[in-house]
Amino acid sequence: MATQALTGLQWLERSLTSLRKMRADQLGGYVEAPKGQPAVGPPAPGQLLAFVEETVEHLAGHAQISGAFAAHDGLILAKAGMSLDFEAFAATAQRLHKLCAAAGDTLALGDPQQFVLAGEQHKLALIFARDIDIGLVAPITVNIAEALASVAGPPPRRG
């Protein structure tokens, strides 16, 4: 049976699931192991950072996406794409994440997953992966979901 290529959105969803799990494992210390096997330690910080950088590079590589970044506590972890004030975007992402979390609590929506800020010329889509914010910047006319869905995800990771 042939393996079907992932669409960009399927790849993104799998990447976000992996990132959330890696970060949870890192914050939690140890991962539950299958019965009879020793507990596994958290991923090495370099492994998590490499994964984040790869994800951001791929997202910024989409033709209609102007730039992408990942941030933690307002600090840039990775950035790619056209020259943007990524530090300002990271600081804004941090404030918006806190605002969304508070609103989610007030409205009983649960933890925030994403947020879109649309300006007159550009839009910022934020995807929250625990305490890591992934940002995508695109012209206001671009439907980011459609732009990501229109191309296949990257080839499978090697070892």
pLDDT of 15 above 70: yes
For domain 8-28+38-149, the CATH superfamily is Dynein light chain 2a, cytoplasmic (3.30.450.30)
pLDDT of 100 above 70: yes
Predicted pLDDT at 153:
58
Predicted pLDDT at 29:
54
Q: Residue 90: CB partners within 8 Å, gap ≥ 6?
A: 69, 71, 74, 75, 76, 133, 135
Q: Residue 41: CB partners within 8 Å, gap ≥ 6?
A: 29, 30, 31
Domain ranges of the chain: 8-28+38-149
Measure the CA–CA gap between 138 and 141, rounded to whole angstroms.
Answer: 8
